[in-house]
Structure formats: C-alpha cells, structure tokens
Amino acid sequence: MLRLVHTADIHLDRPYSGARFPAAFANRRRQSLRDAFLRIVARAGEWPADALLIAGDLFEHDRVSRDTIAAVRRAFESIPHVPVFIAPGNHDPYLPDSPYASQRWPENVFVFSKPVWSAHALDRIALTVHGFGFDGPDISSNPFGALRIPDDGRVHVAVAHGSEMGSLPAGKGAYAPFDAESAAPRGLRYLALGHFHNAKRIPVSSGAWVQYSGSPEGHGFGETGMHVHIEIEIDGDDVRVREVPASRTVFSVHTIDCTGMESTQQIVDAIRQLPAEHDASRVVRAVLSGVAPQDVRLDVQAVHDAVRDRFEHIELVDELAPEDDFDALAMEQTSLGAFAQEIGNQIRDAADEARRRVLVRARDVGVAAYRGRMAPVRGPGGE
C-alpha cells in the first residue's frame, strides 16, 4: 500500500495588504500559515508517507524571506525518508531568482522546473510522480492534456497547478486552464492539484482521482471554515482519500439581526454566543443588520471593544438601518431637508453597490452631524 500527503496554496509570507488587517494580526497570520504547513510536513514524516506532493504556491515569490526559506528547508531535512515533490505555481514560479533555483534543497526534494510534463520514478517503491512547473506568473505553455501514462505496472500519480474550468470559482483568475477529463488519462491513479483554495474532488471517466487539496488555512473572509490537507492510500485498485483538518486559524462570517434590540449589551451578548465550530483560533466578521435605535447605532465601537478579547481578530460591519424616516426628512423646508433630498437622489441613482454604500454612510454621518450626534462606526475594528 502506498501513502501520499497532498497540500497546496500555502502562500508563505503573503502580505495581506489588500485585506486591511492590522500589522500585528497580519504577522500572526503569516506565522499561523507557516505553522500549519510545518505540521503537514511533520505528519508526512510520522505517518510515514511515501511521498509529499505540493501542488504550487508554496511561497509568495516576491515576498518570501530568507527566514521562511530556512524554516521550510529544515522541515524537509527532518523527513529524509519522504520524497517531496513540488510543482511551482503562478505565485511561486520557477525563475532564476526563485527559492527553488537559488537555494540548495535536501536530496529528498524534487522541484518540477519546466512547463512540460516530466516523470520521476522512485527506486525503492513502484511509484512514479509526474509534474510540471510554472516558469513565470503566466505559464509560457500549458501542458494539461499532454500527460501520457505507460502501462508498466507502476503506480502513477501527478502533481500540478492550474484552473479546472468546470470548477472555476467566481472571481478566480484562470491560470493554465484545463478540463479534468482530458487532464487525467487512463493509468493515472491520482492527480494532486493546486490553485483553488477549497478542497474539491472532480470525478472523471478514466477512474483517476482528481483532487484539489485547497489551502491548509483560509486566507481571508472569502475562505471560511476549516481547511484541510489530503491523505491518500493506494492499495491495488483501491484509492482511499481522507481530508484532514489543518487550520490553526479559521475565518467565519456571521450576520446578526439587531432589530428589536434596545441596548448594545444585547449585541455584545449575541456576538459572544457565536458558535465555535472548530478547535482553532477564530477570525470573525460580524455584520450588524436590521433596524436599531440611534443610541444602539452610536456605540458600535464600544461593542467591538467589549468582544475583541474573545477572538483572534474581529471585524464589525455596521449595516444597521436607522430609524430616521429619510423620505419625510427630505420634505422638510430646512437645510437638513435639502441635504437629505439631494443625497437621497444620489443614493437612488448610484451606479453600483459600492457607491451606494458610500453614499448611505455619508447620509448617516451628515444627518448625525446636523443633529449634533456622533456618527456610527463602520468597518474593521482596530487592534
């Protein structure tokens, strides 16, 4: 029986600049990703696996530090009995200045360096691993569909990075696009894929097991819940695949309907009672919705301060609707009425949702200022 461990899309040293996370939290996230990956490597050594398959985007090419490279190298050195196969992806392509080309790696590490399929046959067991690597952020040629498996009595698996177009998530860029049916020829037992950040199996008629491992941790609020690495056992014609929880930190998004709440304490209690579905650090986005009294709306920052110690990180998004009747306000023959009428027209004619949200926020702040009130707090809370 052969044992394999499959992971991908760790993105070590990713910046998190677009996520608007505080610097201290972003540093903790980078360490959490490193810890999650090192645990997967350790598991491959302890099980032990016959091979560790890393299907691309192990690093962030233009961000990875010498310290991270040293930590990864030491981890691979700690499992000399486990061959490690890496198929570089669009975020960590094989380039002259990439860690793959510029650093010395242990003898058990094999990096697929070209955008063509190549095969590596292990001597001690009847296992052949096929793979290819990106040679730039955009691969110069797409090898998917060109893999051929010989009838030689060996177990053949493959590792690669790319976009299965029938499963492409909304908003996800297509890199090395392919169709699973043509990418998994007969004779291939397992195709280890990277690029999509959620684990997913794609059935194909050839009988091969085609699998995205997803990332071992979510990278933001668009990647919620527990993430995994994949453990595979191949015994004759039988392929058994297990998703193993891998996340040290779990993202979640919750909507809290504040309609009828009379004090911020009720909001605090609702947030404190949010379910903890996994034994991991929690990164939470709580969307406050519904209609609430103005006094409640003015204390959103106080709510954040009251609950922040319960979570690794929490963001509050204020989508509470005011009790103000803005239509009635716009009819008033006052400067406030004129303001409400003008901004109401702009909200109605907004070209997109992002613009509409900005205008609604401006309306709330403006009316509060006219009435001598504090404006409600929106968006991510600080640390």
Q: C-alpha 172: how far from its chain's center? A: 11
What is the reported pLDDT for 378?
43
What is the reported pLDDT for 66?
96
Of 221, 245, 269, which residue sits at a domain end? 245
Q: Which residues contact 322 (CB under 8 A, 6 or more apart)?
A: 291, 294, 297, 364, 367
Q: What is the mean pLDDT of residues 180-192?
A: 97
In a shared domain, residues 239 and 283: no
For residue 315, name the pLDDT band (cuts at 50, 70, 90). very high
In a shared domain, residues 201 and 264: no
User: How many angstroms separate the first and last alpha carbons of the chain?
Assistant: 50
In a shared domain, residues 344 and 225: no
Of 201, 219, 245, which residue sits at a domain end? 245
What is the reported pLDDT for 374?
45
In a shared domain, residues 258 and 241: no
In a shared domain, residues 240 and 305: no
Determine contact, residues 318/297, Cβ cutoff 8 Å: yes
Q: What is the mean pLDDT of residues 109-122?
A: 98
**378 inside domain:** no
Answer whether residue 248 shows pLDDT above 70: yes
What is the reported pLDDT for 31?
95
**379 inside domain:** no
Number of structural domains in the chain: 2
Q: What is the mean pLDDT of residues 116-128?
A: 97
**120 inside domain:** yes
Of 201, 228, 245, which residue sits at a domain end? 245
In a shared domain, residues 255 and 291: yes
In a shared domain, residues 151 and 292: no
In a shared domain, residues 64 and 180: yes
What is the reported pLDDT for 322?
67
In a shared domain, residues 300 and 157: no
Question: What residue ranges in the chain does DSSP mark as E strands?
Answer: 2-7, 51-54, 84-86, 109-111, 118-121, 127-131, 155-161, 163-164, 177-178, 188-194, 200-202, 209-212, 228-235, 238-245, 249-257, 281-289, 313-318
In a shared domain, residues 193 and 341: no
- The domain containing residue 326 runs over which residues? 249-370
CATH assignment at residue 12: 3.60.21.10
Our CA angle for 5, 9, 13, nearest 5°, is: 120
What is the reported pLDDT for 289?
87
**355 inside domain:** yes
**376 inside domain:** no
What is the reported pLDDT for 166?
94
How much is the pTM? 0.84
Q: What is the mean pLDDT of residues 270-293?
A: 89
Q: Which residues contact 287 (CB under 8 A, 6 or more apart)?
A: 253, 254, 255, 256, 317, 319
For residue 377, name the pLDDT band (cuts at 50, 70, 90). very low
Tell me the two tokens of residue 230. 């994949």
232-247: pLDDT as tens digits: 999 988 999 999 999 9
- Helix, coil or strand: residue 6: strand
The mean predicted confidence, pLDDT, of the chain is: 91
54-103: pLDDT as tens digits: 999 999 998 999 999 999 999 999 999 999 999 999 999 999 999 999 99
145-172: pLDDT as tens digits: 999 999 999 999 999 999 999 999 888 8
Answer whether residue 114 shows pLDDT above 50: yes
**262 inside domain:** yes
**241 inside domain:** yes
In a shared domain, residues 159 and 233: yes
**130 inside domain:** yes
In a shared domain, residues 49 and 84: yes
